Amino acid sequence: MAHIPENIFPIHDRSLSREDRERLLEQKGLCLWFTGLSGSGKSTIALELEKSLYNSGWKSMLLDGDNVRTGLNNNLGFSQEDRKENIRRIAEVNHLMIEAGLIVLNSFVSPTEEIRSLAREIVGEKNFKEVFVNTPLEICEARDVKGLYKKARAGEIKNFTGIDSPFETPEKPFLDLKTEHKTPQECVEEILNALKL
């Protein structure tokens, strides 16, 4: 049960329900949670998927570091506490967007089982589809899209996931997406098939 602050009285019989909103949008609200190393392809795949969904008439919203860290979470850093708060807020936003009937795509490293469990708990098990963007570290590092691995190896970035901070392999992802020998579009097809969309 969610923590309810003092003097806040949630209205349980709101005139419109999630089901009403979903009926209007002709779809079910859902959270797709992309987890994986930096450079594994989370954003590339999520962006492609978003375009594909849009072209087929699905209503979605993509959340990633670019639109979350610059606004809602621009007062948070990268300490353990702040990383947890970052994910907590993102998950709460998912909760609201799902109530609105949207398909929410999330692109965040979210390296630990603890942090992913927190998101799953807030979003709700049945709404939460974890997609493990499974790309070997060597490949992510060779791509080094943002030059971050080079900096981490040089000691210029501390606690970088995959280098000096662990990435815990998801235990039971909805989809274990092995990207190594696939194009982003093939990855998108695999997700759409798994979702039966």
Task: Report if residue 40 touches ligand ADP, rule: CB under 6 A.
Answer: yes
Residues 30, 31, 36, 93: which binds ligand ADP (CB under 6 A)?
A: 36
Residue 68 neighbours by CB distance under 10 Å: 20
Residue number, 41 or 101, with CB nearest to ligand ADP: 41
Candidates 14-22, 31-39, 72-80, 163-171; binding stretch for ligand ADP (CB under 6 A): 31-39
Residues 38, 94, 106, 127: which binds ligand ADP (CB under 6 A)?
A: 38
Task: Report if residue 43 touches ligand ADP, rule: CB under 6 A.
Answer: yes
Residue number, 47 or 100, with CB nearest to ligand ADP: 47
Task: Report if residue 145 touches ligand ADP, rule: CB under 6 A.
Answer: yes
Question: Would you say 38 and 136 are in contact if contact means Cβ atoms under 8 Å apart?
Answer: no
Residue number, 128 or 149, with CB nearest to ligand ADP: 149
Task: Report if residue 182 touches ligand ADP, rule: CB under 6 A.
Answer: yes
Residue number, 66 or 164, with CB nearest to ligand ADP: 66
Quote the CA–CA distance of 39 and 107 in Å, as a whole number.
11
Q: How many residues can be counted in the chain? A: 197
Task: Report if residue 94 touches ligand ADP, rule: CB under 6 A.
Answer: no
Quote the CA–CA distance of 180 and 187 in Å, as a whole number.
10
**Residue 110 designated active-site:** yes
Nearest position to ligand ADP, beta carbon:
41
Task: Report if residue 152 touches ligand ADP, rule: CB under 6 A.
Answer: no
Question: Would you say 135 and 141 are in contact if contact means Cβ atoms under 8 Å apart?
Answer: no
Task: Report if residue 67 touches ligand ADP, rule: CB under 6 A.
Answer: no
Task: Report if residue 32 touches ligand ADP, rule: CB under 6 A.
Answer: no
Catalytic site positions: 110
